[in-house]
Chains A and B, each alone.
Chain A
Amino acid sequence: MNQTGGPQWANPEVTRPDAVVQEEEFFAPLSTLDEPVMETIMRDVHAVASKLKVVMLPMERNIPYGGYAGVSQSENVEITDRDKEIIQRLKDWDLWGPLVVCLGLAVLLSFKAPAGQASLVFAAVFCAVWIGSAVVTVNAQLLGGTISFFQSVCVLGYCVFPMTLAAVVVDLFKMIPLGAFSTLVELAVLVVAFLWSTRASSVFIGQYIAAPRRVLAVFPVLFFYTFLAWMILLF
């Protein structure tokens, strides 16, 4: 992958004569004809993997609110370099990652659900992720944010990944007989996952909204992940 993201043909050089550039820009996508299908697939796989990695970057500790600049009321939001990097990477959006993450979470939770409710849990989680992120985005747009729909859905979807991992971790903890402590341990894991999930997403949503209305836009984001965490805790 090159730095600007996307395949080579998406970034035509500007130094060449106009006619050549126009011609190349026109035919460029078609020139991937000779590209092996494997290469095309691997390009998408790499893009998804790098974004999943970037979502899991550790938090920075030496900033107030633990990185929750998104909820602050000051007009100039201080975004840490790491958050900036995460958001920048996620802006080059795709929906494959969210699809995989969301299917993973839905399948995991439906395995653990009681026999009669498996399909209900699956459907609920699947719909919650997609409809939920759409609603959160539309809400932010209605509050006056100049936010791109697909970028926002992408960020919200990728940020579900810590939740999916938490579901796995909670599952692993269930194998250890912890007795009365098990719920506490699960709760602790989910709180960490919640902080991890909402860090980048709330900052991302928050930076597009004017300070007085920022809480109104960020609150649904927190609610979205709270719902998912609650689903994980239930099953």
Chain B
Amino acid sequence: MQTNDLHFTVSENGVEDPNYHDSPAAPGTPGANQNWGRLSQSSHPFVIIFHLLFKSLALLMYLFGGWFSKSKNGGNHGANFIVVTVICIFLLSADFWTVKNVTGRLLVGLRWWNKVENDETRWIFESAKDRQINAFDKSVFWTVLYAAPVVWGVLAFFAILRLQFSWLIICATALALSGSNVYGYYKCSSEQKAKFEQYMQDGARAGTMAMFQNGATTVQNSVMGFVTRTAAGGGSQQQNQQPTSGTFT
């Protein structure tokens, strides 16, 4: 992939340069990037990979380490269970941390966090305004975010059916962690909606309208880009849109 995505591009005021995000990634070079497929539509392919990585590892660990492997004395218990559980919990925590602190911020410009003021825990749900969100990033982010608790819920149901209550520990941990991320980002997103309506009522600032129009163009372009690439199997080179200033490695 283009190495640009390894850098976080930030302008002077600490906001990511919208121009950088605006680009629905141009179709990849033929042959070289075929395997990456739709990932080249993303503005942050590496972030998407990390959005999926720990989740899928935990799921694989749970399925193959737990369901399909039996310890030598026939039982499903013993050291095997503990190792699988500990690894799963670490992977799930890593996923929680990544989604909460990194991927939501980069993919959809949302973040939820809390700070403690005296005795009160204040929850803060934030959404970036005037930010271009890549439609592909957005759909992947939300689909995966909502899918995680559903999948773990189904697995918990099967664990109950199989009367393997100790495996419920992993499912419960996964449900709690992914569920809180869903809740947190849902709150962010509904705030975003409210904020958006507020903007529209305020008399449609020029910036907001520009954002809306650009957003529509982004969707159109990314769809068109996908169609073009699938049809032609390649296309123009990736444009280097990276601004020269404020690049952090």
Contacts and interface: CB of A to CB of B under 8 A. Distances in A.
Interface stretch (A29-37, A157-165, A192-200): A29-37
Contact of B102 (A6, A37, A96, A99): A37
Nearest to B131: A30
Classify chain A: how many residues form its interface, as a range.
Answer: 35 or more
B198 to A, nearest CB: 14
B105 A29 contact: yes
Contact of A29 (B85, B97, B111): B111
Contacts of A92: 116
A27 B85 contact: no
B248 A110 contact: no
B185 to A, nearest CB: 13
Interface in A90-142: 91-93, 96, 99, 103, 106-107, 110, 115-116, 118-120, 122-123, 126-127
A123 B86 CA distance: 11
B77 A10 contact: no
Given A40-B101, A115-B78, A119-B82, A126 B169 contact: yes
B81 A122 contact: yes
B126 A123 contact: no
Interface residues of B, number: 35
Contacts of B16: 30, 33
A150 B180 CA distance: 13
A107 B78 CA distance: 12
Contacts of B15: 27, 30-31
Given A107-B86, A151-B121, A26 B129 contact: yes
Contact of A91 (B97, B102, B109, B116): B116
Contacts of B119: 91, 146, 148, 151
Interface stretch (B6-14, B29-37, B204-212): B6-14
B128 A30 contact: yes
Contacts of A115: 78
Interface of A: 5-6, 10, 26-34, 37, 40, 44, 91-93, 96, 99, 103, 106-107, 110, 115-116, 118-120, 122-123, 126-127, 146, 148, 150-151
30 contacts: A26-B126, A26-B129, A27-B14, A27-B15, A29-B111, A29-B113, A30-B14, A30-B16, A33-B10, A33-B14, A33-B16, A33-B106, A34-B14, A34-B248, A37-B102, A40-B102, A91-B116, A96-B93, A103-B86, A106-B82, A110-B82, A118-B81, A119-B78, A119-B81, A119-B82, A120-B77, A120-B166, A126-B85, A150-B121, A151-B121
